[in-house]
Amino acid sequence: MSKVLVVLETAGGQLRPHCLPGITAAKQIADARGQELHLLVLGADTGAAAEIAAAGYGAAGVHTITDPALEPFTAEAWADAVIHAVKTLAPSVVGGTASSTLRDCLPRAAAVLDAPLCAEVIAVKSGDTFTRPISAGRALLDEKVSGDLVFFTARGSEFEPAAAGAAAPVSAIEGASVATRGVEVVGIRKTESSRPALTEASVVVSGGRGMREGSNFKVLEDLTDLLGGALGASRAATDAGMVPADLQVGQTGKIVAPNLYIAVAISGAIQHLAGMKGSNTIVAINKDEEAPIFQVADYGLVAKWEEALPRFVELVKARVS
């Protein structure tokens, strides 16, 4: 029986939570094709595979490729590993969550293997037909892919996280030739924060260019911490240097779909909306009553943030105390 293979990411010896929706999407594809679901763990240390296999996630098998060149991540080395896994396991479909990692390495692998790739899938219509947004989310396209091998990436905000199930066996794939092709990672800067990751938070509070300067984000941080959420920003705010680029929400940033999204001083350009309009409840605060953000907001307040936010924070404090 052919397979649907999901490429997973791990950190600190554990599966990264954002991979779970990609497993769900792959399981839907596997069920539609009548095929088995298999998982692939890559890294310099693939010890996390044992815990992943114990949870199973509906997979028939968990496979590992272990090589020092796979950490830190480079698209070149990971593409080599994926290609070797494909040649060894002969899956019909390969994919996973549309993270920055898989957005980088899977197109390379697909190109080398001369296989089509359907990116940013938001729904599985059948075993070979997927729905994805186009034109910055203005329209949806049902895309039919064909061939003995196809690749996909799935938007994590559009699929439920996979649930644990029966345990699956683990097997190592040997003989991989992995190389970075001269690419060298000279350093990794991590943002240390006690807040949840943007893509995993149930509440996101984002600020835009209307915040004017980075110091003004302090009031957003206060609100974020009261709500136990994550801090975000529009591209205009990150480009202006108000906050770090890894807080960017939008088409060219992170795609989020929290239970609550609060947009402050964000006009609502289509590129930003593409990254957050899947949120369950959207609250917008903007002084411009014509701002596009109000078209997608469930609740909107036309007001200056300088006047609205202090009172908002005060009311939240009274509620949570």
User: Which DSSP letter does residue 249 get?
Assistant: B
Taking Cα atoms as reference points, which of 119, 133, 117 lies closest to residue 278?
A: 133
Instruction: Give me the pLDDT at residue 199, please.
Output: 87
Handedness of CA 279, 284, 290, 291 (dihedral sign): negative
Pull the structure tokens for residue 165. Answer: 């199930």
Please give the residue that has the higher pLDDT: either 319 or 172: 172
Extract the annotated binding site. 209, 234-235, 248-252, 286
Could you identify the residue written with the tokens 């190592």? 172
In a domain, 187, yes or no: no
In a domain, 178, yes or no: no
In a domain, 210, yes or no: yes
Q: One-letter amino acid identity for 198? A: L
- Which tens digit of pLDDT belongs to each residue from 54-75? 999 999 999 999 999 999 999 9
Could you identify the residue written with the tokens 């059948």? 126
In a domain, 316, yes or no: yes
- Which tens digit of pLDDT belongs to each residue from 192-203? 778 998 988 999
- Mean pLDDT score of the chain, rounded to an integer? 95
Cα R_g (the chain), whole angstroms: 21
Phi, psi of 77 (to 5 degrees): -70, -45
Phi, psi of 34 (to 5 degrees): 70, 35
The 10 Å Cβ neighbour count of residue 272 is 29
Same domain? 39 vs 76: yes
How many domains, in total, are found in the chain? Answer: 2
In a domain, 179, yes or no: no
In a domain, 185, yes or no: no
- Residue 4 parent element (H or E): strand 3-8
Instruction: Give me the pLDDT at residue 200, please.
Output: 85
H-only helix segments in the chain: 20-33, 48-55, 75-89, 100-112, 217-227, 235-239, 270-273, 305-320
d(CA 122, CA 141): 10
In a domain, 177, yes or no: no
d(CA 232, CA 249): 6
- Which tens digit of pLDDT belongs to each residue from 168-208? 999 999 999 999 999 989 888 776 778 998 988 999 999 99
Region 87-105 average pLDDT: 97
Region 212-231 average pLDDT: 96
Same domain? 232 vs 157: no
- Which residue segment(s) compose the domain that 71 sits in? 3-172
Q: What percent of the chain has pLDDT over 90?
A: 89
Instruction: Give me the pLDDT at residue 1, please.
Output: 60
- Which tens digit of pLDDT belongs to each residue from 10-34? 998 999 999 999 999 999 999 999 9
d(CA 37, CA 23): 9
Would you say 296 and 303 are in contact if contact means Cβ atoms under 8 Å apart? no
Q: What is the CATH number of the domain that holds 71?
A: 3.40.50.620
Extract the annotated binding site for FAD. 209, 234-235, 248-252, 286
d(CA 266, CA 279): 16
Same domain? 267 vs 139: no
Pull the structure tokens for residue 316. Answer: 């939240």
Please give the residue that has the higher pLDDT: either 195 or 92: 92
pLDDT band at 136 (very low <50, low <70, confident <90, very high): confident
Q: How far apart are the first and last CA of the chain?
A: 57
Burial (CB count <10 Å: 0-12, 13-18, 19+), residue 114: exposed
Instruction: Give me the pLDDT at residue 137, please.
Output: 82
d(CA 152, CA 166): 25
In a domain, 190, yes or no: no
Q: Which residues have CB under 8 Å from 220's CB, separation 6+?
A: 205, 206, 207, 211, 231, 264, 309
Could you identify the residue written with the tokens 């779909």? 257
Same domain? 160 vs 211: no
Instruction: Give me the pLDDT at residue 194, please.
Output: 82
Same domain? 166 vs 215: no
Same domain? 274 vs 139: no
The 10 Å Cβ neighbour count of residue 285 is 25
CA angle 55, 61, 66 (to 5 degrees): 95
Q: What percent of the chain has pLDDT over 70?
A: 99
